[in-house]
Structure 1
Amino acid sequence: MNRLFWLVIAAIAVLILVLIINDESGTTLGLANDDFADAAYMSIFGVVVAAGLLGSGIPLNHVMRNIAIWAVIILGLVTGYQYQYELKNIANRVTAGLIPGTAISSNNADGSEIVSISQSANGHFEVNALVNDQRVNFMVDTGASTIVLTQADAQRVGIDTSNLKYTVPVSTANGRTMAATVPLQEIKIGNIVRYDLRALVSQEGQLSGSLLGMNFMNSLSAYSVQRDQLILTD
């Protein structure tokens, strides 16, 4: 081992001397001095590592196997980093397929928030939102002028439905009925958040599910349908 040490020291000394001599010319053996120094350094480093492995007594096939395993791990990490956004999109689509109504958040090139919602099996776009920090499942309804909550959902988000005044006429699948106006402190879909939006609460049994109406949709900078995806842009 002492012999290898002195050989390495001698090689480094020769490398430094050659670079000093060729400093004015800027090249060594046809390579720029910086490139030559890098190549020489890597060669010396490789010799030291190889000598250490061979001197350790570990069988060569074990050494080669370990090197191959680490090469595969490093290659996988580099590949994952290079394709991180594509892999994230795939993971998001799988999540949306497994959990209907999942809002998938991302960022546009200009930094704006984007939320994508997958079409449900019934052909509608449904999304799980947080209203006053409580989970509510909405059907996106561009025919509804405002957000409409069912009685059950209104109670879940903290609204006292016993004191509501049902004075607003609305049309539903069951015909015309009356609804009550309430303020929503907060509604969050993915990373898109709105505060102090107006909503309606339907009378008991008049609505099968809550509706995400146009007062939320019109607060966005844009929304569009792309194949089976509803894209909300903040």
Structure 2
Amino acid sequence: MSVVGLALVALGIVLAVLVFSHDNQSVVGLEPDQLASLAVSGSLLAVIVAGFWHQFRGNLGANLRAALIWGVLALALVAGYAYRDDARTVGARILGAVRPGSAVVGTDGSVTITRRADGDFHVRAEINGQSHGFQFDTGASAVVLTAETAAALGIRPTASEFAVRVSTANGTTVAAPVFLESLRVGTIVERRVPALVSRPGALRDNLLGMSFLDRLSGFEVRGDRLILRGS
């Protein structure tokens, strides 16, 4: 007997039970109206399933392959959602290894920078929303910008503002004090950061110095990784 035939027989049995039972008498723990609704719904579901199965069985091999592919995709989506945090962390670490200087944000909120091949820590940071590169330098008392970076940010000190003496790899020079509205490394953001602007040609790279680092709750170097922790 087909699935549709079995569904009709079951529906007939349920209807017969309902006809010969008292109106207020429960059947297998269900009220008569509940049992009737369940029987009708089950019969309709059986007819629908039988129709789909008839179509599915017509090209069974191809349909099974398609069902298997969709099942694998569904499992991949579920696994991706369940382990999304781990996948994000792994992806960030791969990016940090491929592009040294990129900030890798840990689950504890710390930011990790991978050392470059030349041995320095090159940190990508955002100043007032603009991305610029910095050399990590604990020997610098402040964040120091090259004249070119400052100009790109719209910061152009006058000649009289260059009054702070600083020591660089090229010798002693003077710099102009400024405040950066925001300085972001990964998820770490500091506001109104004191900084210095060097004279044109006096400095090759921006320096991520202590006026930013002192605001952090901590920072450390572990092998080829620089770890920053926000305040």
- Same-fold status (TM-score > 0.5): yes
Q: Hey, what's the Cα distance between the residues in 1 that align with 2:155 and 2:211?
A: 19
Shift of the 59–177 alpha-carbon distance from structure 1 to 2, 3 Å rule, reads same
1:56-205 superposed matches below 5 A: 56=55, 58-108=58-108, 113-205=109-201
Report the secondary structure of 1:152's partner residue: helix
Q: What corresponds to 2:53 in structure 1?
A: 54
TM-score by length of 1: 0.76
Q: Hey, what's the Cα distance between the residues in 2 that align with 1:129 and 1:147?
A: 12
Is the contact made by 1:133 and 1:157 (CA closer than 8 Å) also made in structure 2?
Answer: no
What RMSD, in angstroms, separates the aligned Cα atoms of the two structures? 3.1
Compute the displacement of 1:83 (Å): 2.6
Q: What corresponds to 1:3 in structure 2?
A: 5
Q: Hey, what's the Cα distance between the residues in 2 that align with 1:164 and 1:107?
A: 46
Shift of the 10–102 alpha-carbon distance from structure 1 to 2, 3 Å rule, reads farther
Q: Hey, what's the Cα distance between the residues in 1 that align with 2:14 and 2:185?
A: 62
Compute the displacement of 1:141 (Å): 0.5
Compute the displacement of 1:12 (Å): 8.8
Q: Deviations over 1:58-101 (max 9, x none)?
A: 32212221221122112212222233222212211222233332
Compute the displacement of 1:54 (Å): 2.7
Q: Deviations over 1:147-206 (max 9, x none)?
A: 011111111111113345222121111122222211111111122111111111112211
Is the contact made by 1:54 and 1:60 (CA closer than 8 Å) also made in structure 2?
Answer: no
Q: Hey, what's the Cα distance between the residues in 2 that align with 1:11 and 1:105?
A: 65
Q: Which amino acid aligns with 2:179?
A: P
Match of 1:226 among 204, 217, 222: 222
Q: In terms of mean alpha carbon deviation, does 174-183 or 2-11 score higher?
A: 2-11
Report the secondary structure of 2:144's partner residue: strand
Q: Are residues 1:217 and 2:224 paired?
A: no
TM-score by length of 2: 0.76
Q: How many residues align?
A: 208
Q: In terms of mean alpha carbon deviation, does 155-164 or 214-223 score higher?
A: 155-164
Q: Deviations over 1:21-80 (max 9, x none)?
A: xxxxxxxxxxxxxxxxxxxxxxx9x97776343312532212221221122112212222
Task: Give the gaps of 5 or more residues in structure 1.
Answer: 21-43
Identity of paired residues, percent? 37
Shift of the 47–209 alpha-carbon distance from structure 1 to 2, 3 Å rule, reads same
Report the secondary structure of 2:78's partner residue: helix
Is the contact made by 2:89 and 2:105 (CA closer than 8 Å) also made in structure 1?
Answer: no
